[in-house]
Amino acid sequence: MVSDISDVEVYVRALGLPYRRVHGNIVVEYKDRRGESIGLAIIYDRDTGMLRVTAPLDVEPTREGLRILLEENFTSTTYKYALDYEGFITVVYDLPGEYVDNARKLKEAILYVIDGVRRILERTRMEEGAETETREEGRD
């Protein structure tokens, strides 16, 4: 059971993930199967007893993208999409600290967030590919 950020640090170490503590939070670098690096922040709020796993992205949503994120937030039972102060997408998963009582459960939370990141990055790459094709067709 997580009751302090030190508990989270123990689980992250057990998972073998590279990390560092920054201002009382844990910043983790997760490498997926393709070798792509994804930065995560893990925060524990003592007042509420909630653990938050987040992945801030360098992706700004389009108007259509905002609609899609809102729809996904209503259907997802784990992670949610949020916008940070600068308008970039952040994948967020909040769960009670008492639920995370071993490294496996922390890994589950991390993998849920990674799944949300993949969905956004895949959609972004598809949109960028469509824009490139449209620009190239306009040259013909």
pLDDT, one tens digit per residue, over 13-55 is 999 999 999 999 999 999 988 888 999 999 999 999 999 999 9
Amino acid 131: pLDDT = 57
- Which residues, other chains included, contact 15 with Cβ-Cβ below 8 Å and sequence gap of 6+? 103, 106, 107, 110
For the domain that residue 17 is a member of, what is the CATH number? 3.30.1460.10
Mean of the per-residue pLDDT values of the chain: 90
| Domain range enclosing 118 | 5-139
Tally of structural domains, the chain: 1
**For residues 6-17, average pLDDT:** 96
Helix (H) or strand (E) holding 69: helix 63-75
pLDDT, residue 123, reads 82
Token code pair at residue 88: 């970039």
d(CA 57, CA 121): 9
CA-CA distance, 77 to 90, in Å (whole number)?
A: 16
**42-89 pLDDT, tens digit each:** 999 999 999 999 999 999 988 888 988 999 999 888 999 999 999 999
**pLDDT surpassing 60 at residue 5:** yes
pLDDT of residue 26: 97
Q: pLDDT grade, residue 136 (50/70/90)?
A: low
Q: Is 90 helix (H, G, I), strand (E, B) or coil?
A: strand
Q: What is the pLDDT of residue 11?
A: 97
The model's pTM is: 0.87
